[in-house]
């Protein structure tokens, strides 16, 4: 079997995250929907990604914009119907792409019929599908655990005199994965969507889903300082990353293994030593535990170079790497590092070894859009105001053209559109051969064409200060990637360490095919890919 065929689609391909509320509105209510996504699939295909991951589209009271699910096996009317969904699966597949859904196993909505039953009485058959505890001996919450969205993680329920646990909003009660019936019901949710043709899942807060069986108090975090989210006052020792979580993941994986070529990528915000444990044993863990280091680390070449090296070194033998530059919970990359470096970041994301995940709109260089106080939507911002933690700025509508509402909707959109949408939009940037969109497309094309770039080996190339350099190789095909993280020109001298070759792509989208003779002069904020003579 050829090496190409030995690798699965989720190893070779690029995942594109769509936040459905903000991609395209087809029915004119100011909120994106499935018909809207269908109408834009030609763009996604043109861009050149391989899989589409949709943030939640299930029925939901939308307290946390779909991450509070009241029916795991249906579609919220805001987004469309199951028929629309089936059509989307068909069309995504027709375009040669894969479809990945968000699976939210840690919590449901408090409006889910399961929770409504659970809270009815202490002996209700669904009582232990959620996490109920008596008050502490002197009264008050059972322990000191804090909600990620501010305040205590325990909500008292008058009707039955107990508290329930919610790691996020009180409208998002945590499910009890230690309960076998709950577990089976949730695994059947996976089967429901797999049977409909879904190719995989992004699993929400997977490191949260099992809690300490003794409900021990968390200790204070000595590194906490005001400015961080309030829950960071405590180390999350006992409410997250419990050893038993891996048994649950194995059960999920068993379900995926019942089908061909399906995968799951797990959301895990943990230090890299802990992150890699989520690969589990071969065939047992998540295929890809999301690696958020490019989001979390300062944008310095040396820091990133060290992080790549460390991550590569920690991967288990069967562990396939992955990289993420942005998502719906973090500031846009262009805002964080600036427009010029966003192009360098694009080249890094799409040339590193491992599966890249690209957040919609980052290919346009979209930046955080300021949200006036009266338009704030995100419950995180509402509960914990003033710390800049709100996620609305990175969730604003995709600008398609310079028409009304940037072609996103016929109506005023649910979040404001960026002020630069008259020029930073798909139509205008498709027409500009030097735009960041053109760069993304070119990078995706090159990555797809060159097996060295999508499945090849990785080797660091020593570099100094603002430069990051590495080689990718597959058989005779060899590439050097050199990235200038600085705003000044810089030289990479690889005399004696690299053969000659030709520059095949610069982030500036000019001077292609120039001969490279071991001294690479990079302009300010420039990255280049060099095809080396082998
Ligand atoms: C992680 C999701 O990415 C985030 O958007 C959500 O608010 C929390 N999980 C709770 O589900």
Check whether residue 318 and residue 465 sit in a common domain: no
Q: Does residue 6 have an active-site annotation?
A: no
Beta bridge partners of 503: 530
How far is it, in rounded angstroms, from Cα 150 to Cα 140? 17
pTM for the whole structure: 0.98
Predicted confidence (pLDDT) at residue 357 exceeds the cutoff of 80 = yes
Q: Which helix (H) or strand (E) holds 3?
A: helix 3-6
Check whether residue 65 and residue 128 sit in a common domain: no
Q: What is the 3-state secondary structure (H, E, C) of 409-424?
A: CCCCCCCCCCHHHHCC
**In this structure, is residue 451 part of a structural domain?**
no
Closest CA to 60 of 47, 46, 74: 74
Instruction: Choose one of 402, 419, 443: the last residue of a domain.
Output: 443
Check whether residue 420 and residue 511 sit in a common domain: no
Check whether residue 21 and residue 133 sit in a common domain: no
Q: Which helix (H) or strand (E) holds 356?
A: strand 355-359
Check whether residue 399 and residue 421 sit in a common domain: yes
- Nearest CA owner, ligand 1 atom 11: 67
pLDDT for residue 353: 98
pLDDT for residue 62: 98
Domain span holding position 258? 3-107+179-443
Confidence of residue 512 (pLDDT cuts 50, 70, 90): low
Q: Does residue 204 have an active-site annotation?
A: yes
For residue 534 the two structure tokens come to 């082998």
User: Does the beta carbon of 204 lie inside 6 Å of ligand 1?
Assistant: yes
Check whether residue 360 and residue 386 sit in a common domain: yes
- DSSP code per residue over 125-178: TTGGGB-EEPPPTTSS-SS--B-TTSSBSEEEETTTTEEEE-SS-TTSPBB-TT
Check whether residue 279 and residue 295 sit in a common domain: yes
Predicted confidence (pLDDT) at residue 495 exceeds the cutoff of 90 = no
Q: What is the DSSP letter of 474?
A: E
pLDDT for residue 4: 67
pLDDT for residue 14: 98
Q: What is the pLDDT of residues 385-422, one digit of tens each?
A: 999 999 999 999 999 999 999 999 999 999 999 999 99
**H-helix segments, 315-338:** 333-337
CATH of the domain at 147: 3.90.400.10
CATH of the domain at 302: 3.20.20.80
Report, as an integer, the average pLDDT of 136-165. 97
Report, as an integer, the average pLDDT of 123-139. 98
Report, as an integer, the average pLDDT of 331-355. 98
Q: What percent of the chain has pLDDT over 70?
A: 98
How far is it, in rounded angstroms, from Cα 108 to Cα 105? 7
Beta bridge partners of 356: 323
Q: 493 or 55: which carries more pLDDT confidence?
A: 55
299 close to 337: Cβ distance less than 8 angstroms: yes
Check whether residue 58 and residue 194 sit in a common domain: yes
- Nearest CA owner, ligand 1 atom 6: 67
Hey, which of 148, 168, 392 would you mutate to test ligand 1's pocket, going by the most ligand atoms within 8 Å of its Cβ? 168
Check whether residue 238 and residue 341 sit in a common domain: yes
pLDDT for residue 266: 98
Number of domains forming the structure of the chain: 3
How far is it, in rounded angstroms, from Cα 78 to Cα 32? 8
From the list 258, 427, 493, 521, the catalytic residue is 258
For residue 445 the two structure tokens come to 């094309």
Q: What is the pLDDT of residues 442-469, one digit of tens each?
A: 999 999 999 999 999 999 999 999 999 9
Predicted confidence (pLDDT) at residue 308 exceeds the cutoff of 60 = yes
pLDDT for residue 3: 62
- DSSP code per residue over 512-523: TT-EE-SEEEEP
Check whether residue 250 and residue 153 sit in a common domain: no
pLDDT for residue 112: 99
Q: Mean pLDDT in the chain?
A: 96
Give the end-to-end CA distance of the chain in Å, rounded to a whole number. 24
CATH of the domain at 469: 2.60.40.1180
User: Does the beta carbon of 483 lie inside 6 Å of ligand 1?
Assistant: no
């Amino acid at each position: 079997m050829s090496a190409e065929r030995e690798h699965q689609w989720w190893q070779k391909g690029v995942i594109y995250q769509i936040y459905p509320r903000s991609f395209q509105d087809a029915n004119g209510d100011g909120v994106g929907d499935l018909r809207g996504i269908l109408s834009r699939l030609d763009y996604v295909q043109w861009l050149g990604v391989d899989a589409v991951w949709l943030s939640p589209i299930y029925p939901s009271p939308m307290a946390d914009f779909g991450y509070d699910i009241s029916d795991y096996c249906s579609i919220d009317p805001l987004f469309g119907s199951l028929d629309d969904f089936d059509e989307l699966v068909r069309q995504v597949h027709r375009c040669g792409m894969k479809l990945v859904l968000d699976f939210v196993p840690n919590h449901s909505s408090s409006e889910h019929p399961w929770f409504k039953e659970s809270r009815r009485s202490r002996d209700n058959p669904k009582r232990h599908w959620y996490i109920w505890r008596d008050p502490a001996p002197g009264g008050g919450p059972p322990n000191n655990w804090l909600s990620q969205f501010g305040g205590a993680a325990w909500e008292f329920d008058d009707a039955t005199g107990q508290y329930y646990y919610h790691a996020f909003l009180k409208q998002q009660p945590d499910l009890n994965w230690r309960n076998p019936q709950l577990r089976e019901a949730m695994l059947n949710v996976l089967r429901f969507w797999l049977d409909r043709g879904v190719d995989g899942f992004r699993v929400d807060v997977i490191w949260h889903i099992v809690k300490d069986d003794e409900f021990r108090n968390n200790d204070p975090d000595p590194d906490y300082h005001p400015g961080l989210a309030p829950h960071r006052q405590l180390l999350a020792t006992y409410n997250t990353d419990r050893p038993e979580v891996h048994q649950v993941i194995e059960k999920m994986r068993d379900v995926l293994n019942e089908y061909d070529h399906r995968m799951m990528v797990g959301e895990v915000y943990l230090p890299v030593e802990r992150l890699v444990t989520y690969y589990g044993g071969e065939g047992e863990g998540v295929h890809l535990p999301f690696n958020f280091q490019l989001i979390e680390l300062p944008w310095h070449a040396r820091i990133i170079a060290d992080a790549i090296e460390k991550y590569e070194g920690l991967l288990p033998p069967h562990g396939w790497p992955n990289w993420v530059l942005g998502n719906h919970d973090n500031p846009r990359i262009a805002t964080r590092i600036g427009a010029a470096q966003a192009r360098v970041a694009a080249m890094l994301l799409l040339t590193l070894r491992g599966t890249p995940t690209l957040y919609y709109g980052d290919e346009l260089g979209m930046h955080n859009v300021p949200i006036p106080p009266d338009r704030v939507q995100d419950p995180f911002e509402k509960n914990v105001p003033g710390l800049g933690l709100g996620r609305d700025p990175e969730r604003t509508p995709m600008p398609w053209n310079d028409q009304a509402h940037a072609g996103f909707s016929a109506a005023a959109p649910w979040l404001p559109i960026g002020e630069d949408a008259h020029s930073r939009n798909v139509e205008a940037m498709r027409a500009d051969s030097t735009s960041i969109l053109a760069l993304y497309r070119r990078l995706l094309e090159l990555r797809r064409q060159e097996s060295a770039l999508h499945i090849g080996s990785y080797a660091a190339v020593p570099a100094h200060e603002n430069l990051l350099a590495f080689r990718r190789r597959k058989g005779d095909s060899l590439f050097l990637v050199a990235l200038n993280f600085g705003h000044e020109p810089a030289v990479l001298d690889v005399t004696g360490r690299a053969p000659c070759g030709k520059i095949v792509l610069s982030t500036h989208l000019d001077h292609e095919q120039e001969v490279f003779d071991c001294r690479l002069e990079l302009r300010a904020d420039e990255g280049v890919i060099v095809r080396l003579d082998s």
